Amino acid sequence: MREGTVGADTLEKRAERNIILCGFMGCGKSSIGRRLARLAGRSFVDMDEYIEKKAGKTIKEIFAEEGEEAFRQMEEDAASALSRERGLVIASGGGTVLREKSRDALAETGIILLLDVPFPALRERLKNDTSRPLLQRPDRDEAMYSLFLERMPKYKAAAHMVIPAGAPANFVAREILHRLELE
């Protein structure tokens, strides 16, 4: 994990800093992020939606028509643009912080929190998903599990803090407020 600077921050700085939620697909980045933003009186940005709006097409269409690398570049551009904003709650995409430039841009003005959810819960939540390009394959469970094993250490390395996130979104959002001393 990265060095946390939470305790040393002044209150003013803390309010300005973006809060970025990262973690595997289905870990609750968007639902928890929305609740957290509401509780903290902050604006919320979902990076996937932000990119879809900018591109004028869905992520599924971006992957199909332009390929994954083009999507990762769009994520990098979004990370760079959002890092120039202040006080946001940002739900990143499941792959965003795995790209060094995107992670570094977001970390420059924000604190990155990993939402940690055990694999069986993620598998259950994603079993009927049709919108995520990486999951549309016959061996979904196996592919998801190897991606999960490969990515978890990278999420942990990118994050300033790990938040257990198996509980309902409202509880997790309140726990984050408490951990960041934003109550």
Please report, as ranges, the residues that interact with ligand S3P according to CB under 6 A: 25, 29, 48, 59, 93-95, 132-134
Residue nearest to ligand S3P (CB): 94
Least distance between ligand S3P and beta carbon 94 (Å): 2
Which residue's CB is nearer to ligand S3P, number 107 or number 144? Answer: 144
> Taking the complex as a whole, how short is the minimal distance between the CB of residue 59 and ligand S3P, in angstroms?
5
Ordered strands of the 43-46 beta sheet:
43-46, 88-91, 18-22, 110-116, 161-164
As measured in angstroms, the least distance from the Cβ of 20 to ligand S3P is 13
**Least distance in angstroms from the C-beta of 16 to ligand S3P:** 25
Euclidean distance between CA atoms 81 and 146, whole angstroms: 31
C-alpha separations of 89 from 94, 127, 143, 182 in Å: 16, 27, 30, 13
Nearer to ligand S3P (CB atom), residue 29 or residue 160? 29
Q: Are 156 and 114 in contact (CB under 8 A)?
A: yes
The distance of closest approach from Cβ of residue 12 to ligand S3P in the complex, given in angstroms and rounded to an integer, is: 31
- Asked if 110 and 17 touch (Cβ cutoff 8 Å), the reply is yes
Q: Which is nearer to ligand S3P, 133 or 166 (CB)?
A: 133
**Nearest CB to ligand S3P, comparing residues 14 and 73:** 73
Closest C-alpha to 37, from 28, 45, 48, 47? 45
Q: CB of 105 within 8 A of CB of 80?
A: yes
Considering beta carbons, is residue 95 or 110 the nearer one to ligand S3P? 95
> Strands, DSSP E only, in the chain?
18-22, 43-46, 88-91, 110-116, 161-164
